[in-house]
Structure 1
Amino acid sequence: MSSVLSSATVSLALRPYLKANERIDFNDQGIPEHRLSNYTEGMQANINFLENREWCQYYFDTHHRVETFRSRWLMATGSWDGKVVVDIGCGPGNVYATVGGHPKALIGVDISPRALKMAAGIGYTPLLADAHDLPLADGCADIVVLNATLHHCDDMARVLAEAARLVKPGGILLTDQDPQRSAWKFRGLGLWLRQIRFPFYRLMHSVHYLPRKYRIARRATEIHNREPGDGLDIGFYYQVLEPLGFIVEVHPHNHDLGAEVLQGEYGRGSERLRLSQWLSGIDVESAAAAQSMICIATCLG
C-alpha cells in the first residue's frame, strides 16, 4: 500500500454515505477526518494504544482472528458480499481480515490514524471520527458492526444509538465481545483470588510476550471493563434498541465458541475465571457466567 492514501479515491468512495453538506477534511496521509470537538481521557487512551506501531500490529495479528469468530459472525450477518458495511471502532481491520467477503462498500471508523491506515491497506475506506457523533447518513448501511468497541467508549448507550441510526430498514446491527457484567461480579474469596493472581499473570505475560507498558496502555482503553462488576447487562441492548425500531436478540458466550452461540451454547471460560466465579457465588454453568455477549439487532424501519 502506498504510504499516502489517495484523497480523491477515498472521497469518492465515502461521499455517497455522508450526511448532506457534511464537512470532511483530509490529513497529510489522505485519511478523511470529521473534526472532533473534544478528546476525552478515554479517547486519548485508545489513540495512545493504537498509535504504537508494534502494539497495533500485535493486536491485528492476535485478536479476533480465529475461525470460531468468523463462523459466529457469518451466521449472524450472512455474507458481506455486495453489502454496505460500516465497522465502528475498526482498529487496524481485524474484523474484515477475519470475516472476509466482497462488500459494495466497507467503511472503517476509528480515532487512530495509524490503525485506519492499516485498515485501508486491507480494503477499508477509512474515516477518522468520534463514534458518539458520526458524519454518516441515516440508513446508509446494510450492516453496522461494533466489535469489542462499546466498552471502550465513554457513553455506550449514545454510541449504540448512533450506530443504530446508520442501519437501513431490514439491515443488521451487530455488536460482540463486550464484557457481560454478571460474569465479572467478583466478591469475597473470588475477588481476593483475582486480586492476588492477576499481578502474577500480568508479570508472567510481560516476561513471555507482552511488555508491561502494553498491558498498562491496553487497560487504560477499557473504560467500562476495569473493575469487578464493570460491563454491560443483556437488558442494555433492549433498552437502547427496541425504542429505535429494532428486533433484538442477545446471546451470552465465552470466547471459544463459533456459530453454535446462536443456538444457545455458552461455551466454557478458563479454569481461573470459573474458580473466581464459583468463589463469588456465580453459577459457572449458567448464561450469567459467560464472558461476553453478541447482540444481533434487525432494523424494522
Structure 2
Amino acid sequence: MMLSTVQPFLRSDAEVFERDDYLEIPITNPSEAIKANAYYFNHPDWAQEYLTYCHRSESFKSRWEAALGDCTGSIVVDIGCGPGNIFATIQGKPKLLIGIDVAPKSLEIAKRLGYVPVLADAVNLPFISGFADIVVLNAALHHCEDMAAILREAARLVKPGGLIITDHDPQLSAWDYKGIAKLLWEGRLVLYKITGHGFHKTDSQQYWGLQCEIHHKPGHGVTKQFFIDNLKPLGFEVDVFAHNHELGAEVLQGQKGKAELKYRIGNLLSGRNPSAEVSALSLMCVAKKQISA
C-alpha cells in the first residue's frame, strides 16, 4: 500500500523495499552523520521525547503556518522528518505527506501521524524531479555533513511554483563565539552535568545528541548567502529571515525576537551587538521556484 502511494513519483532505477512500517532505500555506505542520527532517533524513548518537547510550541506553529500557507491537497516532502514534529504541530491536510529519515523507530511514529515514511539518504533521494508542491527541512541541514548537497537535492524535488522551506538551522554568525564566550560554550557540558539542566537526561543521550549536531558549534552554521548561492541558480526566489526561536509569524515580517540571556551574553562577549540580525540564532528560508515563461 505504501509503495503504491509513492510509485508514480519514484525514479525508474530506484530500489525500494516495503517494510512493515516504512519504505526503505538501502544506504550502502552511511556517513558518520547518518550513523549518529540513526542511532539517536532510532531510540524509541529519545524519539518520543523529541516529538513531545521539540518544535511543538505555538510560536513554531504560527511561523510555519505563515510560511506554508494552506497545504490542503498538496504533495509535501518532509526531509529529516524525525518522528513527525512539523505536521504533528501544524496539522493540515496535504494530499500526500512523505517523510524522509534514517531512523526506523522515528519513521514508525511518523507513520502513525499520517506520514508515508521513507528511509533514505537525503543526498540521493529515489524520487523524480519536480513532483512536490512543498519540500520542508526543519532542524535538518545542520545534522548532515554536506548541507549544500542536501539543500540542492531537496530543491530538485520542487515543481515550478512550489516552495522549499527550511528553519531551525543555526546562523553561523550568531554561533561564532570567540574568546571567553567560546570557552564558556565548550564548558557548558560540565555545567549541565553538575546542575542536571539541559534537554538530555543521561550522558549517553547527551553524547549521541551532540554527535548528531554536525554543524551546530562555534564557526559552523548557515548564512543568508548560503541559501541564495545554492537556490537562486536553480530558479528560486529566495527570502531568508533571521530570528530567535520563540517568535511566530512575525518572523516573516522581519521581526527577530529576543534571544535568551545566555545567547545574548555569548554574542556580546564575542564582540557583536546581541540585538543585531547577525546575532539571531536561526535562519528561516522560504524559497519559491519560478515558473518559466
State the TM-score, normalized to the length of structure 2. Answer: 0.95
Q: Give the conservation status (yes or no) of the 8 Å contact 1:24–1:32.
A: yes
Q: Give the conservation status (yes or no) of the 8 Å contact 1:86–1:107.
A: yes
Q: How far 1:193 moved relative to its partner?
A: 2.9
Q: How far 1:20 moved relative to its partner?
A: 2.9
What amino acid is the match of 1:249? D
Question: Which residue is equivalent to 1:74?
Answer: 65
For residues 123-138 of structure 1, what are the structure 2 equivalents within 5 Å?
123-138=114-129
What amino acid is the match of 2:36? A
What amino acid is the match of 2:252? L
Q: How far 1:208 moved relative to its partner?
A: 9.0
Question: Which residue is equivalent to 2:229?
Answer: 239
Q: How far 1:198 moved relative to its partner?
A: 4.5
Q: 1:153 aligns with which of 144, 151, 156?
A: 144
Question: Which residue is equivalent to 2:109?
Answer: 118
CA distance in 2, matches of 1:209, 1:194: 17
CA distance in 2, matches of 1:153, 1:240: 16
Q: How big is each residue's C-alpha offset from its partner over 1:75-99, in whole Å with a ceiling of 9 and x where there is no partner? A: 1110221110000000000001011
Q: How far 1:209 moved relative to its partner?
A: 6.6
What amino acid is the match of 1:184? W
Runs (5+) with no aligned partner, structure 1 = 1-8
Q: How big is each residue's C-alpha offset from its partner over 1:127-169, in whole Å with a ceiling of 9 and x where there is no partner? A: 1110000001111110000000001011111100000000000
Percent of matched pairs sharing the same residue: 43
Q: 1:243 to 1:87 in 2, by over 3 A?
A: same
Q: Give the conservation status (yes or no) of the 8 Å contact 2:37–2:103.
A: yes
For residues 159-178 of structure 1, what are the structure 2 equivalents within 5 Å?
159-178=150-169
Q: Give the conservation status (yes or no) of the 8 Å contact 2:192–2:198.
A: no
Query: Is 1:92 matched with 2:83?
Result: yes
Q: SS of the residue aligned with 2:168?
A: strand
Q: How far 1:31 moved relative to its partner?
A: 1.8
Query: Is 1:210 matched with 2:210?
Result: no
Question: Which residue is equivalent to 1:12?
Answer: 4
Runs (5+) with no aligned partner, structure 2 = none
Q: How big is each residue's C-alpha offset from its partner over 1:155-195, in whole Å with a ceiling of 9 and x where there is no partner? A: 11110000000000000000000000000111122223333
Q: Give the conservation status (yes or no) of the 8 Å contact 1:254–1:269.
A: yes
Query: Is 1:36 matched with 2:27?
Result: yes
Query: Is 1:57 matched with 2:48?
Result: yes
Q: How far 1:197 moved relative to its partner?
A: 4.3
Q: 1:189 to 1:108 in 2, by over 3 A?
A: same
Q: Give the conservation status (yes or no) of the 8 Å contact 1:206–1:212.
A: no
Q: How far 1:26 moved relative to its partner?
A: 2.1
What amino acid is the match of 2:3? S
Q: Give the conservation status (yes or no) of the 8 Å contact 1:175–1:296.
A: yes
Q: How big is each residue's C-alpha offset from its partner over 1:5-64, in whole Å with a ceiling of 9 and x where there is no partner? A: xxxx1012111221234221123x242111212111110000110111111110010000
Question: Which residue is equivalent to 1:260?
Answer: 250
State the TM-score, normalized to the length of structure 1. Answer: 0.93
Q: SS of the residue aligned with 1:237?
A: helix
In the TM superposition, structure 1's runs of 4+ consecutive aligned residues that sit over 3 Å from their partners are: 195-198, 205-209
What amino acid is the match of 2:37? N
Question: Which residue is equivalent to 2:134?
Answer: 143
Q: How far 1:206 moved relative to its partner?
A: 5.5
What amino acid is the match of 2:17? D
RMSD: 1.5
CA distance in 2, matches of 1:196, 1:24: 45
Q: 1:101 aligns with which of 92, 96, 121?
A: 92
What amino acid is the match of 1:185? D
Number of equivalent positions: 291
